[in-house]
A = this chain, B = another copy of it.
């Protein structure tokens, strides 16, 4: 019997993720995987964090989307190196896609690689991309019940960014409820409430990120 298996299958995701991590570490680049629902405000948060980090870091971005390059165009406007991955229907990025995209960066010229995953609170949970940090982004308009309803993605994340806090007065979002649910799933991970467009909370979050990425 002849067994044919694609390289992609042989090199299982976790193994590829370890290779990505080793390559980033060797280049002194800190990888951050950003996950959240469609419209949680991941790109706007990135834009805010770049302002907050200022010249403390030289960031680059991998954008994951089903189709198009809307987010990559936003990042490009900031002068930040960016690669767009179109997953052509796949509901999450995987380590193989990241390995391919990483080849397009000069790792010597950057020190943080932000990976904006496909908007999805489910599928993204199972795939290590080779990052050092996974951040979940949840907007207040999505509701405070999301950690209870989608536990996998919150569990094992290193921080929760609660975005669009300027909308809080117009919703019934309860920060105490999401905090309690999240702390059960990720007891040591901090929570940062932010309004990225107005800049509220961004300085604290950027400071934490700068400090955290020093620890590696």
Contact = CB atoms under 8 A, between A and B. Distances in A.
Nearest to A90: B122
Contact of A142 (B38, B118, B123, B151): B38
A139 interface: yes
Indicate the size class of the contact surface on chain A.
20 to 34
Nearest to A142: B39
A149 B37 contact: no
A109 interface: no
Interface of A: 37-39, 65-68, 70-71, 89-91, 118-123, 139, 141-143, 145-146, 148-152, 164, 166-167, 170-171
Given A38-B149, A67-B149, 17 more contacts: A37-B119, A38-B142, A39-B141, A39-B146, A66-B122, A66-B149, A67-B150, A91-B120, A91-B122, A91-B123, A119-B149, A120-B122, A120-B123, A123-B123, A139-B141, A141-B142, A141-B164
